Amino acid sequence: MRREGRLTEGQRRGLEAQWPSCGIEASSEMLDLDAEFGRGAARILEIGFGMGESLIAMAAAHPENDYLGIEVYRPGVGSLLRQVGEHQLSNVRVINEDAVVVLEQMIPDNSLDRLQLFFPDPWHKKRHHKRRIIQPGFVALIGEKLKRGGVIHMATDWYPYAEHMMAVMSSAPGYKNAIAHGEYAPRPEFRPLTKFEKRGHRLGHGVWDLLFERTA
């Protein structure tokens, strides 16, 4: 569900200045991504981009790609849009809505080259595990939206959740581990280190990346 929150002045200005050109209103109609971005390009969708630092870094480093971010937290959307303006980026679009709703109603099948899910809530308590976003039904939905050969890229700093992701993905029809069966991936160069992750490294915390390719 969409979550409001108190906006900083910078976030408010980002929303006011950049939403008309970069924001996509939630709707029940499928998007024409070529029309939204004004070109054809590789399309990367990130779910839950937080305050947007890593998504902005990727978009700035790879202007040949188009990036679509989905985030329910409005201050995060404002933060991302502020950075879009600061970096004068034209390859970023954002939707402020629940990811499942967007995937089901707005993202065309076979349209994404990569889907990114970095550091989702692990829902530590066993009774809350059903709330974890990586579940068989969600993974099947993503598979419909990825092109054949497209990749879902996940990262977590909670090893039990990494194990959960590995188990769900390894048994999901139509996917294969892009590294090797049961193996985690080295952090790809295109995934920037977040401030949160750098702090974790200093404290000795691990991070696990998973890359699974759609094969059918």
Catalytic residues: 121
CA distance 118 to 128: 19
The set of residues, in sequence order, having a beta carbon less than 8 Å from that of 203 and lying 6+ positions away, is none
CA distance 48 to 16: 21
Both tokens of 155, joined, read: 């990262």
Both tokens of 200, joined, read: 């974790």
